[in-house]
Amino acid sequence: MDATLAADARATLLEQQLTLDEKISLLHGHTPILWHERPADFIWTSGYVAGVPRLGIPAQRQTDAGLGVTNPTMKDASLGSTVLPSGLAAASTWNPELAREGGAMLGLEAHQFGFNVVLAPGANLTRDPRGGRNFEYAGEDPLLAGTIAGNVIAGIQSQDEIASLKHYVLNNQETGRFIYDVQIDESAARESDLLAFEIAVETGAPGSVMCSYNKVWTVYACENAGLLNTTLKGDWAWPGFVMSDWGGTHSTETAAINGLDQEDGEEFDGKSYFDAPLAKAVQAGTVPQARFDDMVHRILRTLFEKGVMDHPATPTNVDYEADAAASQRVAEQAIVLLKNTNAVLPLAKTLERVAIIGGHSDVGILGGGGGSSEVSAHGGVALRIRHTDGDFDVSENYLGLGDVQQHEVSTRRQRLTLSPRGLLFF
């Protein structure tokens, strides 16, 4: 195929050669750690979407990457990666160029591990300091969050990777995330949470956007026509593909027609909505052929546009020293919480201790437990805390929960011993 053609033209030429089954294979993905029919070319990671080898379409190998390239369940202990500071830390630098540099490092490592889809960054606003995914978001201000996330996206995609901007939208807490319904005036949403995503989309042009678990205006985000068709694809004229969060798909016809392009981690859904049921719906006409073709086209044109087709990810050696230096540059700027430039604040030069006062300022809340927080650091971790009641097992906590997934992992807290020189607010 002529590589000088535009991504849309190349995608159209490729679509014409695909069978119905091959098109369907591009529209639903699996979770390798829960999938019992893994192909030979899978990698232990978050997600896998089959390719079409006869036409040179690669499998989509997706990795969580909120803090670095992840290694779920430590199936392959050799896949240690460089750990990045949290999204909140990156936002604390107020440095878009540094965010882009961190994103480029993340994209490069993902590419060198053989992944081609990076499930990062997040642009949800920090509406509650107890939010379980705050570590991969970029603060409470939409301009800052959108700018930082957009530059992380640009960095990731500079390495021939697809970035997936998440979790669209208003996924501001983990408690009740499968069932809560966000009620917010549309104008207020467009000036806050939606604005952060809009800025991120305009700044970084992500190949994919991941829709969230929660409902917005009584409708699940992953089948919400107002969010997906009207705002994201319509008002913002975004040409990429919408992927579901793992366990975020709830229907076939409704989801497809209302804007979802790819069901991911179908094992978390309890069944596949975009495999045989979608093929049947297309043949019956309950999902229009034009919409079905659009779903396929959005994925193929993204594979071309972001370099995945022309520069396939192949496992190779990682320059951990260079990557660690990039991570450290982010950390060094992030850790400085206050600069008293030109002695603006009346603080004595002899000052040694500063108290930061606030609720739970003496308690650290443990976060993570899986997914994008599960990064196995190259060289090992400095401290590992084991729960007394056993390690978290994703297969026990997310599967078999029925149509309404209500299980929530209980929050565990550990009291920290703080330095006598100050008080740290969480």
Residues labelled catalytic: 245
Nearest CA among 227, 230, 226, 236 for reference residue 204: 236
Stretch (H or E) spanning 106: helix 96-113
Ramachandran angles phi, psi of 170, nearest 5°:
65, 35
Tracing tokens 């990795």 back to the chain, one arrives at: 63
Name 326's bridge partners: none
Tracing tokens 């297309």 back to the chain, one arrives at: 282
Provide the sign of the torsion angle of the four alpha carbons 132, 376, 67, 420, taken in this order. Answer: positive
96 token code pair: 């878009």
Cβ contact 174:131 at 8 Å:
yes
287 token code pair: 């999902």
CA distance 153 to 165: 8
CA distance 365 to 373: 14
CA distances from 146 to 158, 216, 234, 400, 404 (A): 18, 20, 19, 36, 31
Work out the burial of residue 228: count CB atoms within 10 Å of its CB; fewer than 13 is exposed, 13-18 middle, 19 or more buried: buried
129 token code pair: 């300091």
Amino acid at 236: W
Q: What is the DSSP string of 204-253?
A: H--SEEEEPSSEETTEEGGG-HIIIIIIIIIIT---SEEEE-TT----SH
Query: CA 102 from chain center: how many Å?
Result: 15
Name 118's bridge partners: 63, 163
CA distance 240 to 223: 16
- CA 118, 62, 256 angle in degrees (round to 5)? 100
CA distance 401 to 423: 41
CA distance 265 to 245: 7
